[in-house]
Amino acid sequence: MTIQDIVELTLKNGYLTPTMEAEVGRICDNAAELSVEEYQALDKLMGALLTGQVVAVPRKQFINVMEELVLTESITRVSEIESSTNKTLDLGDIAAYALNRLPPLYATTEEGANYQRNRAQSELKALIAQQVEEAISRNMDRPEFFPERHAITQPAEKSSDFLSQMSGLLQAYAPDFEKPVQAR
């Protein structure tokens, strides 16, 4: 989609979605130089946003608490297995397998996330453990018949050890964890 297409769709619908905004940003970042038509379209979009003709849809911040619970359970079980055997397990595959078989627990506030955590602890703890165990069992029994498989995001150096996998998953799920909080 071009910038002109996005602006036309935005004006027609009356709103600019985060996806549309990201696509315009991607096009601008990747272009060496924008054309006159692209600048005109961006100017038209800016004018429509300033006058209220178009509304920018805010990005909704939310989390799936089930991801955190499954990851915690998976890390615990995988570390137990890897410390007592010579097997190396794929933490990402295990978590994804279990998550695909469990209900999502989305929350938009800390209070909602705490509610979902408490609910999961009382109602879903056994189911989470069961799905993680099944995922581990399948992962341990899986033959290496797809050597060309690649992770969604690959680190600079390929490493299959548990700590590297855990570090990669934590970076994916909490990219801002170690950033300092700025005082207001």
The radius of gyration of the chain from alpha carbons, rounded to an integer in Å, stands at: 22
71 and 109 Cβ atoms separated by less than 8 Å: no
Q: How many CB atoms lie within 10 A of CB 65?
A: 21
Phi, psi of 107 (to 5 degrees): -145, 150
Q: H/E element holding 123?
A: helix 110-123
**Which pTM does this prediction carry?**
0.53
For residues 118 and 73, the answer to whether their CB atoms sit within 8 Å is: no
Q: What is the pLDDT along the chain (184 residues), one digit of tens a residue?
A: 888 999 999 999 898 888 888 888 888 888 888 889 999 999 999 999 889 898 888 777 888 999 999 999 999 999 899 888 888 888 899 999 999 999 999 998 889 999 999 999 999 999 999 999 999 999 888 766 555 666 665 444 444 566 666 666 666 666 655 555 555 5
Give the whole-angstrom CA distance, residue 128 versus residue 117: 12
| C-alpha dist (Å) from residue 40 to 7, 16, 28, 99, 148 | 10, 17, 13, 45, 45
